Structure 1
Amino acid sequence: LDIPGVVKNILEVFEKYNINISYVNTQENDTSYQYCKIGLYASSSEVLSTVLEQIGTFCKIIDINYDTQDKIIDNTVFYHSFAQNMQKTLSLSEKETKAFLNNSNKILQILEDKNENYFKTFNYIRKFAEFTVNYKDEQFNPRINHKSINDDVNLYLIEPPCGSNTYIIECDNELLFIDSGFRCYADEMKQFFHVLFPDFDEMEKQIILTHADMDHVGITDIFDDIYVSENTFINFKREHEGKKNFREENPLHEPYIKLDRIISKYEPPELTKLRIIGNKTNDKEFEKIGEFNFKDMCFEVYESNGGHLKGEIILVEKENKIIFTGDIFVNVKGFTQEQYDFNLLAPYLMGSVNTDSAKASACRKILLNKCKNYLFCPGHGTWVENSDT
């Protein structure tokens, strides 16, 4: 049973018989039992038997057969090499390197309990880091699309190899952004903004964030007004206060989010720039929390039940039949090869990219059923007519 003091009693037995601990993996699981895997080294099998017999009087013990061909439990050299590699790849400080290694190991512990391979876990983490770096500078090659909504309004879509879509609506020399990708690509993205809009610096611009995931909110420094739901505001406020954000409240997501913060160079938006659109008051799949007007376009803003992330919103423009879905809908069929490869990483390392997959699925079905013949502008993957989905 998960009773305070049991681990202390175990350690006292180890100390009594000079037992060395080579490996420990333990985590809470919301039950009355605490499972703890411990690798031991004893001077003889007789001593080990005595130790296990004594511990067995107050704690249930299960002997796990250790297959050295499957996992390497105690590999200091590997950890050191991995840390050095990540420090060099990402240009990390010593403090960041320690945090990176610590959270990588936490992901390993979570996946190990699902019998995932040790090296696969670290290889996926390495891929995550290398992906973001490999597409920096001249290698940054987003897919860009343009669509005329009417004679006065143009819609642009920028899809980077890693991170969310960025949408830009242009009308009368003013710009409305929806989401903005990873912060680590801020310089590269700004170059493309200036290519698309030669007078970019002089143009009025504002942004709406569909939700608070780091791959959607990376470029906010160029805006004076950042529109969000109240729950998304609370998420960012928590980050500024040094508290866990909504993602980090889930222990299965927390280590990945902390890696994401390091890799993407994430910083939360300035609170003084945030403008709250509205707040959700019920548990329904969607609730209208307000409207947002941009020139002649009127967006109805709905907050979902938080299946993907608490505070997420969709923007519905009924006259032109356009919907910005955030990550409630993702167009996997419309991925580039780079996007497809990158988007395999997070679901593995997090277990799921959703806070509640059943809720997220219910919301997605509602959008597909109720918004027929709308242009779907997803969080990832190219836009698509709903009739084609």
Structure 2
Amino acid sequence: MKKTFVTVMPNHIGAFLKASRCFAANDVNITRVSYNKAVDSHMLFIDAEGTKENLKSAGDELEKIGYLQCEENGKNVILLEFKLCDVPGSVTRILELISEFSFNISYISSQENGSDYQYFKMGIVAEEKEKMDEFLFNARKICDVRVIDYNHADKIYDNSIFYTHFVNELASLMQISANSREALLVNTNLAMQQLDESGVSPYRTFDSISRFCELLSKARGDDYAPRISTHRVSEKTDIILIEPPCGSNTAIICSEGKYLFVDTGYAYCKDEMNKIFKKLIPYFDSIEKSVFVTHADVDHCGLLSEFDTVYAGYDTAKCLAMEYENGVGYREQNPLHKPYIQICKILTSYESVNSEKIKVIGEKTTGSEPLMRAGTFDFGDLHFEIFQGGGGHLPGENVLIDYENHVVFSGDIFINMKDMIASQAQYNHYAPILMTSVDTDPELCAHERKALFARLGAGKWLIFGGHGGVKEYILNPM
């Protein structure tokens, strides 16, 4: 069994040795250590492997010696920039004011730049917002003061500016639990370590994650405003398309008094989506709830646990079962992608679906074609042929094609980028960071799209993509 310990150690000789002895005494093996003094001189991430009992004993000992005290007790660090005249004693008045308010300084940096001013950057530790507001009011009487967003800072300053501040900010926006907060902290560190080892600056990545989270937090309650349209596809069948501000589309096939959903969007908006479902479908609470999932991405599978039956192709069903059993799906099998997918799952409150609800449709495909026939699937008066992609977007991706009624559900093999609501277009700008790019293999996905359109016959088609509005596609009989 493996476990990650988030430890806070004193900054003196032998601190890590003391922790190592705790693990060794309990027959626990350390498999990874992550420490960056430039980020935080106290925080150390330790991955360890051992039995459940031995890991607990090691954790108890670490707690006894004070290495697991990770809470900041409500404290926060605000990074401020003071524009001071480049003359002797100019910083003294600011330091005196800081002392009057009994603030601690966690970080300080300044360098002359050849002008008449110096820009002092200071990390100020504060517990009460009102007290900080009063301090800023008085400081601005002395000089210009700017509050710096850590996302746009030139370098990483300290624990509160990065790890704890970053995680607490996201956790507050998305209202996640204490346990989830620790998992978010661990995966943030993993992502940071990967970026650091590859020589990539982390700021654009983590700025995108923050902005992604901000978009999710704004699209809630009364501000959750999807575009909803209804499309008649046969005498007995309508399709309702729900295009949310964030996440995948959800389509509802309404045929002969029965309902089949196609994909479900993110889990964080469960209440908002259920409210929409109840408005659109009479007696929603009492009906049999079935869903077909095009592929096993977080933004398509968030509400699967709300349904009685989940229809999925062979490989998608396998991926969902893997997530339920050990929390690792296809995307997380790549260690470079794993921390980002885990962060996305935490922020969107993702829950894996019970494997007993999953019903496999179609067959396992073999071959190297970009789009392979996998079987058939009927609902109401619609008769779909199932095609599985080669994994350009994600292994197990499926397309449904009804040749009689000219209806296509393409998942993310095709998305209608040209017809999105404004919020969805903005979301798609940041989503690839946490979805580890839109496509697993962009070149293969392009071949899949080409193969999809090549399979459509003459006539007018309605293509329901994973994102964006329905596409009307007309193919002349040539």
Q: TM-score, normalised by structure 2?
A: 0.64
- Residues 138 and 160 (structure 1 numbering): CA distance in 2 closer, same or farther, change over 3 Å? same
Greater shift after overlay, 265-274 or 123-132? Answer: 123-132
Greater shift after overlay, 159-168 or 364-373? Answer: 364-373
> SS of the counterpart of 1:339?
helix
Map residues 46-195 of structure 1 onto 2, 5 A cutoff: 71-73=154-156, 75-79=158-162, 80-111=164-195, 117-195=201-279
Q: Is the 2:340–2:436 Cα contact (8 Å) retained in structure 1?
A: no
Indicate the residue corresponding to 1:292 in structure 2.
Answer: 377
| Structure 1: gaps of 5 or more residues | 1-14, 25-68
- For 2:421, give the aligned amino acid: T
**Cα shift readout 1:189-227 (whole Å, capped 9, x = no counterpart):** 111111112222333442110001111112224432211
Higher relative contact order structure (alpha carbons within 8 Å, sequence separation ≥ 6): 1
Residues of 1 paired with 2:307 and 2:167: CA distance?
A: 36
Alignment partner of 1:259 is 2:350 = no
Alignment partner of 1:279 is 2:364 = yes
- For 1:383, give the aligned amino acid: V
Q: Is the 1:371–1:386 Cα contact (8 Å) retained in structure 2?
A: no
Q: Is the 2:249–2:264 Cα contact (8 Å) retained in structure 1?
A: yes
Alignment partner of 1:330 is 2:345 = no
Which of 424, 430, 433 pairs up with 1:345?
A: 430
Shift of 1:240: 1.8
Indicate the residue corresponding to 1:28 in structure 2.
Answer: none
**Cα shift readout 1:352-388 (whole Å, capped 9, x = no counterpart):** 2222222111101212333264211100001111249
Indicate the residue corresponding to 1:31 in structure 2.
Answer: none
- For 1:305, give the aligned amino acid: G
Indicate the residue corresponding to 1:54 in structure 2.
Answer: none
Map residues 295-306 of structure 1 onto 2, 5 A cutoff: 295-306=380-391
Indicate the residue corresponding to 2:37 in structure 1.
Answer: 22
Which of 364, 370, 383 pairs up with 2:470?
A: 383
Which of 391, 395, 398 pairs up with 1:310?
A: 395
Greater shift after overlay, 305-314 or 122-131? Answer: 122-131
Residues of 1 paired with 2:199 and 2:423: CA distance?
A: 28
Shift of 1:85: 1.5
Q: Cα RMSD (Å) of the superposition?
A: 2.6
> SS of the counterpart of 1:198?
coil
- Residues 173 and 334 (structure 1 numbering): CA distance in 2 closer, same or farther, change over 3 Å? same
> SS of the counterpart of 2:160?
helix
> SS of the counterpart of 1:184?
coil
Greater shift after overlay, 214-223 or 273-282? Answer: 214-223
**Cα shift readout 1:162-197 (whole Å, capped 9, x = no counterpart):** 110000111121001111111111111111111112
Q: TM-score, normalised by structure 1?
A: 0.78
> SS of the counterpart of 2:180?
helix
- Residues 259 and 351 (structure 1 numbering): CA distance in 2 closer, same or farther, change over 3 Å? closer
Shift of 1:333: 0.7
Greater shift after overlay, 131-140 or 221-230? Answer: 221-230
> SS of the counterpart of 2:364?
coil
Alignment partner of 1:268 is 2:355 = no
Alignment partner of 1:219 is 2:300 = no
Which consecutive aligned stretches of 4+ in structure 1 deviate over 6 angstroms post-superposition? none
* Structure number, greater radius of gyration: 2
Residues of 2 paired with 1:71 and 1:109: CA distance?
A: 18
Q: Is the 2:288–2:308 Cα contact (8 Å) retained in structure 1?
A: no
Percent of aligned pairs sharing the same letter = 34
Equivalent pairs counted in the alignment come to 329
Greater strand content: 2
Alignment partner of 1:197 is 2:212 = no
